Amino acid sequence: DAADRGPYRHYMLKEIFEQPLALANTLEGRISEGHVLESFLGPKAGELLAKVERVQIAACGTSAHAGMVARYWIEEIARVPCAVDLASEFRYRDPVIEAGTLFITISQSGETADTLEALRHAKTKKIAASIVICNAPESSLVRESDIALMTHAGPERSVASTKAFTTQLMALALVTLLLARRRGLTAEKEKHYVKSLLSASAKVEQVLKQDDVLKKLAERLIHKQHALFLGRGTMFPVALEGALKLKEISYIHAEAYAAGELKHGPLALVDEHMPVIAVAPRDELLEKVKSNLQEVRARGGELIVFADQDAGFQNGPGVTVIGMPHADELIDPMIYTIPLQLLAYHVAVLKGTDVDQPRNLAKSVTVE
CA 360 vs. chain centroid, Å, equals 23
Residue 5 sits in the site that holds ligand G6P (CB under 6 A) = no
CA distance 90 to 248: 24
Residue with nearest beta carbon to ligand G6P: 61
Residue 250 sits in the site that holds ligand G6P (CB under 6 A) = no
CA distance 263 to 310: 27
Instruction: State in angstroms the smallest separation of the CB of 96 from ligand G6P.
Output: 24
For residue 318, what are the CA distances in angstroms to 155, 246, 274, 360?
40, 21, 12, 35
CA distance 277 to 321: 10
Residue 63 sits in the site that holds ligand G6P (CB under 6 A) = yes
CA distance 219 to 366: 36
Q: Write out the H or E segment, with its range, that includes residue 244.
A: helix 235-250
Instruction: State in angstroms the smallest separation of the CB of 277 from ligand G6P.
Output: 20
3-state class of 366 per DSSP? Answer: coil
Instruction: State in angstroms the smallest separation of the CB of 356 from ligand G6P.
Output: 11
| Nearest to ligand G6P of 56, 108 (CB atom) | 108
CA distance 152 to 174: 14
Q: Which residue is catalytic, options 125, 224, 290, 363?
A: 363
Is 363 designated active site? yes
Single out the residue of 159, 169, 252, 319 in contact with ligand G6P (rule: CB under 6 A).
159
CB 304 within 8 A of CB 276: yes
CA distance 269 to 283: 27
Single out the residue of 10, 20, 49, 61 in contact with ligand G6P (rule: CB under 6 A).
61
- Residues from 86 through 115 that contact ligand G6P (CB under 6 A): 107-109, 112, 115
| Nearest to ligand G6P of 57, 304 (CB atom) | 57
Beta strands 35-36 and 31-32: pairing type?
antiparallel
Residue 62 sits in the site that holds ligand G6P (CB under 6 A) = yes
Single out the residue of 12, 60, 174, 280 in contact with ligand G6P (rule: CB under 6 A).
60
Stretch that binds ligand G6P, among 9-17, 55-63, 289-297, 339-347 (CB under 6 A): 55-63
Residue 337 sits in the site that holds ligand G6P (CB under 6 A) = no
| Nearest to ligand G6P of 62, 101 (CB atom) | 62
Residue 151 sits in the site that holds ligand G6P (CB under 6 A) = no
CA distance 206 to 190: 25
Residue 142 sits in the site that holds ligand G6P (CB under 6 A) = no
Residue 139 sits in the site that holds ligand G6P (CB under 6 A) = no
Closest CA to 172 of 78, 66, 85: 66
Residue positions annotated with a catalytic role: 363
Q: Which residues bind ligand G6P (CB under 6 A)?
A: 60-63, 107-109, 112, 115, 159, 161, 361, 363-365
